[in-house]
Amino acid sequence: MLRMPDLPITSAGREMNGWQTGIFPESFLQPRLPSYIISLHENRFARARYVVGGVTPMEIKDRLEQLRDTIRTHDYYYYVLDRPRISDDEYDVLMQELKKIEQENPQYITADSPTQRVGGKPGAGFETIRHRAPLLSLENVFSWPELLDFDSKIRKIVPDPVYTAELKIDGVSIVLIYEEGVFSRAATRGDGELGEDVTLNVKTIRSIPLKLQKNLPRLEVRGEIFMPKQEFLRLNQEKEEQGERLFANPRNAAAGSLRQLNPGTTAARSLAAFFYDVIHIPENPLETQEEYLYFLQDLGLPVNTEFRVCHNLEDIAEYYLKYEERRHQLPYEIDGVVIKLNPLAYRKKLGQTAKSPRWAVAYKFRAEIKETRLVECEINVGRTGVVVPTAILEPVHLAGTTVSRASMHNFELVKEKDIRIGDIVLVRKAGDIIPEIILSVPEKRSGMETEIIPPLHCPFCNSILVKEENEVAVRCTNMNCPARLKESLIFFASREGMDIDGLGPALIEQLLSREMIRNVSDLYGLRQEDLILLERMGEKSAQKLINAIEASKNRPLYRFIAALGIRHVGVKTARTLAGYFSRIDDFFQVSTEELKEINDIGEKVAASIIHFFNEPHNRMTIEKLQTFGVNPRADGKEPQEKPLANRTFVLTGTLEALSRTEAGQMIEALGGKVTSGVSKKTDYLVVGANPGSKYTQGLQLGINIIDEKEFLGMLNSFKPAD
Ligand code: IVH
C-alpha cells in the first residue's frame, strides 16, 4: 500500500508544517502544498473580513484562490483517499462562500474552480477526437504458460526484467488532458484512434481534479473510469423499480453514464476513476512504471494503490492468486491483473504488435460462471407494483457466496433468453454482486421443462396486470395489493397526499401487522378504543389521530387524487385534473380521449388514469371511502395557508435555476424550514448537481430525495391553479 502524506490540518483545524514524507521520493514533494490548506479558524476569520467589506480586488482574488485550493484539497481527501478531514457542513461553508464571491465577482470565475463541475448544457452529441497517437489495448493471456511465454519474449531483450503488477479495472478507458495544470479535455479511447469528447461529463467526477498539484505546461494521462459495485447495485435497483432496462454490468453502466448528453445525469451517478499511464509529459524525467504511478498520485490524480513491483515470476503468481481470490471483496470490479515491464527505457525497443504493446499483458481471471438448474420461478411484486420474476436455483457456489436465487428482472428478458423451469442455466454475478442467468442450455433439456408464462394477474391480489408502452415491466395497479399496501398507505397519509397528521410509517406498520387495516378506506373506520391498543398510544393521542383522520375527509379534490398514488399523477397533474372534474366519480366515466384533451395530459398519463379507475379493487376502495364520508370536492379550500408548514428541507449540490439562498427563501415563504444537516427529521433532501455526502446520508436514512425539477414542481404545485 502506498502511504499518502497527511493533510496538514490537525483535528483542531490548525496548520502544521510540511508533509510527512512517508515513502515518497523527495523530488515528488511539492513545496507549496502546505500553503494550499488554510485552517478552518482562518477561514472563518477571512470570511468575516470579506463580509465586512472594504476589500480590494487583489484580496478577493487571493481569497478565491485560497478557498479553491482548500476545497480541492478536501475533495482529494474525500473522493480520492476516502478519508474526509472536515464535516460536510464545514465543507458547505467553504463552498457557499466561494459561490457567493464568484457570483458577486463573475469576472474572476476560472474553469478549474470547484464550482464549475456541472457547468455545461446538455449537448446534441459528442464530438469526435483524434488521439495524438493511437491508444493501444492489451494482449490478453488466460493461463500461466501463456504468461511465461510473454516473459520469455521480454527476456530476449531485457536481461533481468522487473515488472509492475496492477489490477485490471473493468471500466471505460479514458484520456485526460491538462494544460498549465488545469483540466482541459477528456476523451474516451474509442477504437484507439478516434474517441469521443466527454469533457463535460468527466468534469462531474469528483475524484478527478480540475487542477493538478503541479503546473505542467501539458500533460496527457490515461486511466479507467468505473462505477463502484454499490452504485451499480443502487442504479439497477432504481431501474428495476422504474421498469426500465437494466445495465448488464458496472462497465456498461459506467459507459452509459459517461455518454449521457446531460452532464447532470452523469453527476448524479457516482462514477470514479483510477489513472495508470502517462501518455505525454514535457521532458519526461521518469524512468519506471512505478514512478509513473507515484507521479500521477502526487499530481492529485486517483491511483489504484493495490499495485506491486514484481522481481520474479513467483511474485506475479502470488499477486494474481491473491487478487483472484480477493476481487469479490473489492468495492469495484476487476477482470484480471496487468503485468507491465517496469523500466520505461525498454518500451520503445520492445515495440508493439498491431494493437498492443509487447511490454505489457493482461492476465485475465477466469470468468466466474457456474452451471446449475432452475427449479422454480417465483413472482414478486415490488413497492411500485413492478412484477419481477425470480429464478429459484439449485444452490451453487459463485464468486464468494452460495447462490440460490437470481432475479430475472422482467418477462421480456425471460423470453429473450428462452429460460424455462427445469433448465440447466449458466449463472454469474453482475457487477460481482447480483446473481444473474446468462443463458439457458437447451442442449441439456430432457423435454420435461416448462415455459415461464408471464402472469396476467397479480399473484398477491389477482388484479389484472398492466404493461405500459415502452416499458419492459408489467405492474399491479391495485393500490391495496398486499405487496404494495404499506407504501400506498404511507403515501396516502403523507403530506403530499391526505396529510393525516401523526399517521406515519411506524404507525401504519403496526396497524397492518395487527391486521387492523387492509386498505386505505379501513383508516376511516378506526375507533379510539382500537387505537389505544397500539404501542405508545394513549387516549389523548388516539383521539388526536382520530381527529386528524376525520379532518382529512374534507381535503380538496386534487389532494385526494394525488393521495391515490396513480402512476404518473403527481400533485401538479392532480391539480390540473381537479380543474376539470368536480367529483371523484367523474373519473369512472371518463375516456382516454377526453383526458387527452386536457392540457398537459398525454397518452401515457391518460392510460394510467384509465387503468387505475378501471381496476375493480381501486373502484371498490374509492366507493368505500365515499361511504365513510370522504368526498372531496374541487372547490374545497386548502385549510393551510402555509403548505410547507413543519416541513424540513436540506439542500445539497448546485441548483441550476436558482441559488440556494433563493430556494431557501421560497421554502420559508411557504412555511418550511431549511437546515444544514441531514437527519431522520428531514422531510426532503433537494439534490442539485454534484451532491455532497448528504446525498449518501439521505439514501442511507431513507429520506425523501427530490431533484431540482421535482422541487420546482413541488413549489409550482402550491401556486394557485389558474
Ligand atoms: S495499461 C498501453 N493498466 O484494459 C497499455 N490498462 O484490455 C495501456 N485497463 O484499454 C493499458 N486497468 O482500458 C492498463 N491497470 C491497467 C488497466 C488497464 C484496466 C484497461 C484499459 C485497456 C484495457 C485493455
The answer on 595 and 540 residing in a single domain is yes
Nearest to 571 by CA among 713, 720, 385, 384: 713
SS3 call for 560: helix
- Which residues of the chain are modeled with pLDDT < 50? 1-53, 119-122, 637, 639-640, 721-722
- Cα 168 to ligand 1 centre (Å): 6
Transcribe 212-263 into DSSP letters: -SS--SEEEEEEEEE--HHHHHHHHHHHHHTTPPPPSSHHHHHHHHHT-SSH
Q: Has residue 204 been placed in a domain?
A: yes
Q: Has residue 110 been placed in a domain?
A: yes
Total domains in the chain come to 5
Where does ligand 1 bind, in terms of residues with CB under 6 Å? 136-138, 166, 168-169, 173, 189, 224, 276-277, 338, 357, 360, 362
Q: What is the pLDDT of residue 635?
A: 63
Ligand 1, atom 22: nearest CA belongs to which residue? 137
Helices (H), ranges, 76-211: 88-104, 144-155, 199-202
The answer on 426 and 330 residing in a single domain is no
- Mutate which of 131, 168, 306, 364 for ligand 1? The one with the most ligand atoms within 8 Å of its CB, which is 168
Q: Which of 62, 85, 116 is the last residue of a domain?
A: 116
**Do residues 569 and 608 touch, judged by C-beta distance below 8 A?**
yes
Q: Has residue 337 been placed in a domain?
A: yes
Q: What is the pLDDT of residue 155?
A: 96
Q: How far is CA 572 from CA 41, 320, 559, 578, in A?
A: 46, 57, 10, 10
Q: What is the DSSP letter of 328?
A: G
The answer on 381 and 497 residing in a single domain is no
Q: What is the pLDDT of residue 341?
A: 97
d(CA 445, CA 421): 10
- Cα 266 to ligand 1 centre (Å): 23
Q: What is the pLDDT of residue 86?
A: 77
- Cα 228 to ligand 1 centre (Å): 17
The answer on 589 and 490 residing in a single domain is yes
Q: Specify the amino acid at residue 364.
A: K
Q: Has residue 699 been placed in a domain?
A: yes
**Look-up: residue for cell 490478453?**
140
Q: Which domain holds residue 108?
A: 31-116
The CA-CA-CA angle for residues 252, 255, 256, to 5°, reads 80
Q: Which of 579, 607, 627 is the last residue of a domain?
A: 627
Q: Has residue 463 been placed in a domain?
A: no
Q: How far is CA 346 from CA 154, 157, 158, 415, in A?
A: 9, 8, 7, 53
Which ligand 1 atom is the nearest neighbour of the CA of 189? 10
CATH number of the domain bearing residue 675:
3.40.50.10190
The answer on 612 and 673 residing in a single domain is no
The answer on 594 and 685 residing in a single domain is no
Q: Has residue 480 been placed in a domain?
A: no
Q: Which of 302, 334, 364 is the last residue of a domain?
A: 364
Q: Which of 99, 168, 211, 364 is catalytic?
A: 168
**Do residues 223 and 273 touch, judged by C-beta distance below 8 A?**
yes
**Do residues 464 and 615 touch, judged by C-beta distance below 8 A?**
yes
Q: What is the pLDDT of residue 124?
A: 55
Beta carbons within 10 angstroms of residue 591's beta carbon: 10
The answer on 209 and 313 residing in a single domain is yes
The CA-CA-CA angle for residues 228, 231, 235, to 5°, reads 140
- Cα 5 to ligand 1 centre (Å): 27
The answer on 148 and 62 residing in a single domain is no
**Do residues 167 and 363 touch, judged by C-beta distance below 8 A?**
no
SS3 call for 449: coil
The answer on 352 and 216 residing in a single domain is yes
The answer on 353 and 385 residing in a single domain is no
The answer on 643 and 590 residing in a single domain is no
d(CA 423, CA 449): 6
- Is residue 168 annotated as part of the catalytic site, yes or no? yes
CATH number of the domain bearing residue 151:
3.30.470.30
Q: What is the pLDDT of residue 95?
A: 87
The answer on 205 and 89 residing in a single domain is no
CATH number of the domain bearing residue 432:
2.40.50.140
Q: Has residue 670 been placed in a domain?
A: yes
